[in-house]
């Protein structure tokens, strides 16, 4: 999870993270890969749920709040206010896109305006349901 605060989580990376988490559980229980155990059975045996993605998203949300309260280059880059030439390719997914879908907010501006009040931002992170990728 080193440096996960700056990751852009796509559907592919989301799937890989969840796969790795299940692999960790299977290794802890010493379940061989040839055993026919479903992920639900492994989770019941460990008496846990999948939580790695939520931890990553919470770290990212804390980092975004920290960046938005500063008026620096990181703020400009994160919000996408840097002037650049538009590429002909599909738009790249930004970190804030995944963050807003995880928090359940419709617009980025709603989430970004909350960052200035650190207490309400912490409440928003704590109450995030974990929707989206």
pLDDT tens digits along 47-63: 999 999 988 988 888 88
User: Domain tally for the chain?
Assistant: 1
Residue 38: pLDDT over 70:
yes
Entry field: residues in the chain: 133
Q: What is the pLDDT of residue 12?
A: 93
pLDDT-derived band at 16 (thresholds 50, 70, 90) equals: very high
Domain that holds residue 95: 1-83+90-133
Map 8-67 to HEC letters: CCCHHHHHHHHHHHHHHHHHHHCCCCCCCCCHHHHHHHHCCCCCHHHHHHHHHHHHHHHH
Residue pair 8/94 in contact (Cβ under 8 Å)? The answer is yes
Q: What is the pLDDT of residue 79?
A: 65
Give Cα 21 distance to the centre of its chain: 15
Task: Give 39's contacts (C-beta < 8 A, 6+ positions apart).
Answer: 22
* 39 exposure class (CB count in 10 Å sphere: 0-12, 13-18, 19+): middle
pTM over 0.85: no
Residue pair 18/12 in contact (Cβ under 8 Å)? The answer is no
Residue pair 46/28 in contact (Cβ under 8 Å)? The answer is yes
- What is the distance between the alpha carbons of residues 43 and 2, in angstroms, rounded to a whole number? 25
Average pLDDT, whole number, for the chain?
A: 79
Residue 133: pLDDT over 50:
no
| pLDDT tens-place string over residues 67-112 | 777 777 776 666 666 566 666 666 666 667 777 777 766 666 666 7
Q: What is the pLDDT of residue 85?
A: 66
């Amino acid at each position: 999870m080193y440096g996960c605060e700056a990751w852009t989580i796509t559907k592919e990376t989301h799937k890989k993270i969840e796969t790795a988490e299940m692999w960790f559980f299977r290794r802890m229980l010493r379940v061989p890969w040839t055993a026919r155990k479903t992920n639900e059975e492994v989770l019941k045996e460990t008496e846990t749920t999948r939580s790695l993605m939520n931890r990553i998203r919470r770290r990212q949300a804390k980092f975004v709040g920290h960046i938005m309260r500063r008026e620096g280059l990181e703020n400009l880059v994160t919000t996408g206010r840097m002037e650049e030439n538009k590429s002909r390719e599909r738009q790249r997914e930004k970190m804030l896109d995944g963050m807003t879908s995880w928090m359940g907010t419709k617009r980025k501006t709603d989430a970004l305006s909350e960052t200035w009040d650190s207490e309400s931002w912490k409440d928003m992170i704590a109450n995030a349901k974990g929707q989206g990728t």
